[in-house]
Structure 1
Amino acid sequence: MLNLPNPNDIYTNEWHTTVFLKNVIKAPNIHIGDFTYYDDSINDPKDFEQNQVLFNYPSFGDHLIIGKFCQIAQGTTFIMGPANHRLNSVTTYPFNVMGGEWTNATAPHLSELPHKGDTIIGNDVWIGKNAVIMPGSKIGDGAIVAAYSVVSGKIDSYTVVGGNPAQKIKNRFDEELKNLLLQYKWWNLPIRRITEILPQLCSANLDEVRKFIKRELLNQTA
């Protein structure tokens, strides 16, 4: 029997610095795929939801969706929609939450906030140390977010971005290989098959990888 990592484990190493996130999440509006991990050598990574997902009030209606096999470095923070303030009036001050007559005289706080939509992270995304992901951001499959970046908006699949605000630095691959990867979606394969093709997934010979994926796609349609 193959000795494979168990996606239902919490800690993924003996030092307890890394966790498979889906197994430590309790909020109903956070959805995380298999083998996506968070690494933190300072705080217990098991406390990701409490420490790294900020202003999360599920009743507001937005979701944090992270795909499979993502790699999330220490200090990465996801800001949820309720972090915003009212923008359609002359003041942004949240009088409603301060109590007393201020609460009585104003509309419920959450109902006044702008909705940016769900924050969606694709599969096999690497997010560097202390990056900040703002509400409603969309990061495509295979993207890389440099350390200390602030992401707001849409990041295309298989691009490298960095800075504040995060800007495109380069494409990881040419269009053909990118499209092959998006079609192949290796992260959805059975874990045993992923294990078998690790030499290809981890190879630096991209021409051979390209040929391999083309064969795989042909076999899938045969």
Structure 2
Amino acid sequence: MNGADPTNPHPMAGFPQVCFIKNTVRNPNIIVGDYSYYDDPEDAENFERNVLYHFPFIGDKLIIGRFCAIARGAKFIMNGANHKLSGVSTYPFYIFGNGWETVMPKPGELPYKGDTVIGNDVWIGYEALIMPGVKIGNGAIVSSRSVVVADVPPYTIVGGNPAKPIKQRFDPGIVARLEALAWWDWPAEKITRHLPLIVSGDTEALLRVAAD
């Protein structure tokens, strides 16, 4: 046995509220790694409803790494939510046509923050809100109902509105070594073999066995 089947949308028998996201998303601009799950008792397979203002003509991507845990109601605001800021009014007159399309913003006039990227082994709490273009590093934790407006460093706990760093999970030297280790990219057999160390706090022991 080498853990859950990453191709099974509902890997916990009798518990359909947990869903491996990769198996259910259809939008090509949402890219999700193996084992990352969404936990929601109401239609866990419809994770895409939490990715808002994600219009295909804009082309921005939501990228989520492997082994992420995303709680119910977490939302991702994409670049399509942005309005032009340089005018007297921010109202999007042009979307209604009938002569108002003449003020359609020119390329580059709408704010664009790029792709939203969630690293590996990230835990996003209940009803957290991730804003456009945010990068959340590997091993980070986002507290419930946080509003994340800026990048989150690896292995950092953030919370609040706007979210601020609360705690660094490990010393910077350990973080650098864990990022280089990248256990989330190991084959399932190797993860299973070293699982007791992966879930323990003994980072030195995990780093020592990484080469086998």
Provide TM-score, normalisation by structure 2: 0.94
Q: How big is the shift at 1:59? A: 1.5
Residues in 2 aligned to 1:152 and 1:110: alpha-carbon distance in whole angstroms: 24
| 2:160 is the alignment partner of 1:166 | no
Partner of 2:131: 134
Residues in 1 aligned to 2:106 and 2:128: alpha-carbon distance in whole angstroms: 28
Partner of 1:101: 99
Residues in 1 aligned to 2:97 and 2:108: alpha-carbon distance in whole angstroms: 16
Q: How big is the shift at 1:101? A: 1.3
Could you say which structure has the higher helix fraction? 1
| 2:195 is the alignment partner of 1:191 | no
Partner of 1:124: 121
Query: 3-state DSSP class of the match of 1:78?
Result: strand
The residue type equivalent to 1:100 in the other structure is: N
The alignment of Structure 1 onto Structure 2 pairs a total of residues equal to: 211
CA 1:17–1:110 in 2, change beyond 3 Å: closer, same or farther?
A: farther
CA offsets per residue over residues 107-132 of structure 1, 9 Å max, x none? 16887421111100000000000000
Partner of 1:12: 11
Given candidates 179, 182, 197, the residue that maps to 1:200 is 197
Kept after mapping to 2: 8 A contact 1:30/1:63:
yes
Residues in 1 aligned to 2:163 and 2:3: alpha-carbon distance in whole angstroms: 36
Residues in 1 aligned to 2:2 and 2:113: alpha-carbon distance in whole angstroms: 43
CA 1:99–1:68 in 2, change beyond 3 Å: closer, same or farther?
A: same
**Root mean square deviation of aligned Cα:** 1.6
The residue type equivalent to 2:205 in the other structure is: K
Residues in 2 aligned to 1:213 and 1:166: alpha-carbon distance in whole angstroms: 31
Percent pairwise identity: 46
Provide TM-score, normalisation by structure 1: 0.90
* Unpaired stretches in structure 2, ≥5 consecutive residues: none
Query: 3-state DSSP class of the match of 1:59?
Result: coil
- Structure 1 segments (4+ residues) deviating >6 Å: none
